[in-house]
Amino acid sequence: MSGHENSEELVAFLDGALSTVDARRVEDHLESCSACRETLDDFRRTGQLLNRWTQIAPSPGFESRVLTQIRASARPRSASGGFGNLNRRIFGSPFRWAAVAAGIVLIAGAAYWASSLSRNEEALTEAEKDEIATHIDLYVDYGVISHLDTLQPMDATPPPGDESSVINTG
Amino acid sequence: MTGQDLYRDDPDVESMLAFQKGDDQAFERLFRKYSRPLVNFAYRMIGNRGRAEEIVQEVFLEVHRARGSYLPQAKFSTWVYRISTNRCLNELRRPERRLVATEDRDSDGEEGDRAALEPVSDGPDALQNLEVKRLQDAVVGAVRSLPVQQRTAVILCRYHTMAYREAAEAMETTESAVKSLIHRATVTLKDRLKSYL
């Protein structure tokens, strides 16, 4: 064989990663090539040096700590009968479109409910206006009147003979 | 024989299947068998023991969550190292991680090594320990300075005695790619450690 063995093949040879045929070829070459034997020896000693990086021990209590946390994180799912499983059953099945439709109906219902609440709120505001009109003198006394813009168009002129409801703007 | 049947002889796959059927002790057996090697794997990959332990916790949470869907498509060790490799590579890709990487060796990350090699007395033993420590630092520095794919291949094959094929499965690459990575890493390490050869 002419030349030297490919160094990639030498490393793979050391690691026992060559086929029987290739390993035999490298062995044959090494018998007659001192340069390749030297390279192989350097690779071998480099590999041995790596063993100087010893293992570390996990911190004290590591195993029990992690096992406890894993058990804790797993518990809610199994204890509840498995919401995760329920999710998978619903959305991973042909019923998923029914689930989506049900969601849309729920959202629409919620929107209708919210708008009816808003309407009630407006009606309540009207009632408040009547209340305010009844006790307008109190609101004037406490300076609230300046914030009640909705009262501006109201006619505050007292009926003839009724002096008690005159607005004192002075 | 299906692909899944191929791995049913692996006792760890048997344990995982037992766990799937409700045997929680089987999960604990797997955890106790693999947690320490995986902490070392992650530690060698990222250089910080605390974070390495967190990664192993995340790995086993993933194993636990796989209970319902697990199908044996590889040896259990290959599968669990694949999860760990992906987690470590993600960790190394985090931008804030790159900023602190140089600090790791001075933080708690090296405690384990340091404690194991602490000089116990003055005199010849202390000197010898110092020499051992210096050599270990050189090896750690040389391996850690390898490009990440080479480092991963070296750690799997040299420290976790994986064959190229198994390392390739764990790294989700080809056997010939691992062969090339190991070769380039070995040449680099030989050069960086030549004063110790």
Q: In the Cβ-directed half-sphere of A38, how many Cα atoms lie within 13 Å?
A: 4
Contact pairs from chain A to chain B, CB under 8 Å: 103
What does chain B come to in residues? 197
Please report residues of B whose CB lies closer than 8 A to that of A12.
164, 179, 182-183
Amino acid letter, residue A113: W
Is pLDDT above 50 for A35?
A: yes
What pTM, to 2 d.p., does this model score?
A: 0.69
CB contacts of B146 in chain A (<8 Å) are none
Mean pLDDT of chain A: 73
Q: Which of A35-39, A101-105, B7-11 has the lowest mean pLDDT?
A: A101-105
Among A53, A55, A63, select the one facing B140 at the smallest CB separation: A53
Architecture of B117-197 per CATH?
Orthogonal Bundle (1.10)
Q: Is B139 exposed, middle or buried (0-12, 13-18, 19+ CB in 10 A)?
A: buried
Tell me if B39 and A58 make a contact (CB, 8 A cut-off): yes
> What are the pLDDT digits (tens) for B54-94?
999 999 999 999 999 999 999 999 999 999 999 999 999 98
Amino acid at A148: L
- From chain A, the residues in CB contact with B33 under 8 A are none
> What is the location of CATH 1.10.10.10 in chain B?
117-197
Using a pLDDT cut of 90, give the percent of chain B over it: 76
| Residue B127 in this model has a pLDDT that exceeds 90 | no
A61-94 pLDDT tens trace: 999 999 999 999 877 554 444 444 445 445 544 5
What's the whole-number average pLDDT of chain B? 88
Measured in angstroms, the CA of A34 and the nearest CA of chain B are apart by 18
Q: pLDDT value at position A167? A: 43
DSSP B146-179: S-HHHHHHHIIIIIS---HHHHHHHHTS-HHHHH
Work out the average pLDDT over B43-52.
96
Q: What pLDDT does residue A99 have?
A: 63
Q: What is the DSSP letter of B123?
A: S
What dotted CATH number matches B1-109? Answer: 1.10.1740.10
> Given an 8 Å threshold on Cβ–Cβ distance, is B136 in contact with A46?
no
Contact B57 A66 (CB under 8 A): yes
Half-sphere exposure of B139 (CA within 13 A, CB side): 24
Candidates B39, B146, B160, partner chain A, best to mutate (most A CBs within 10 A): B39
Q: Please answer yes or no on whether B60 and A70 come within 8 Å at the CB atom.
A: yes
Nearest chain B alpha carbon to A12: B179
Question: Residue B110: pLDDT above 60?
Answer: no
| Segments of chain B assigned to CATH 1.10.1740.10 | 1-109
* Residue contact A12–B28, C-beta within 8 A: no
State residue A82's pLDDT score: 44
Q: Give the residue-averaged pLDDT of B142-165.
A: 97
Sorted by where each begins, the domain ranges of chain A are 7-50, 93-122, 135-170
Cβ neighbours, 10 Å, residue B69: 8
Q: Tell me the residue type at A123.
A: A
Interface mutation vs chain B, best among A5, A11, A85, most B CBs within 10 Å? A11
Closest CA to B54 of B97, B23, B12: B97
Of the segments A1-15, A107-121, B154-168, which one has the largest average pLDDT value? B154-168
- Quote the longest CA-to-CA distance of chain B: 64
Between chains, do A46 and B164 touch, taking CB under 8 Å as contact? no
Residue range A105-116, pLDDT digits in tens:
788 777 777 776
Q: Which pLDDT band, with edges at 50, 70 and 90, does A122 fall under?
A: low
| Close Cβ partners of B18 (under 8 Å, ≥ 6 residues apart) | B26
Report pLDDT for A130: 67
Q: How far, in Å, CA of B6 to CA of B3, rounded?
A: 5
Average pLDDT over residues B117-136: 76
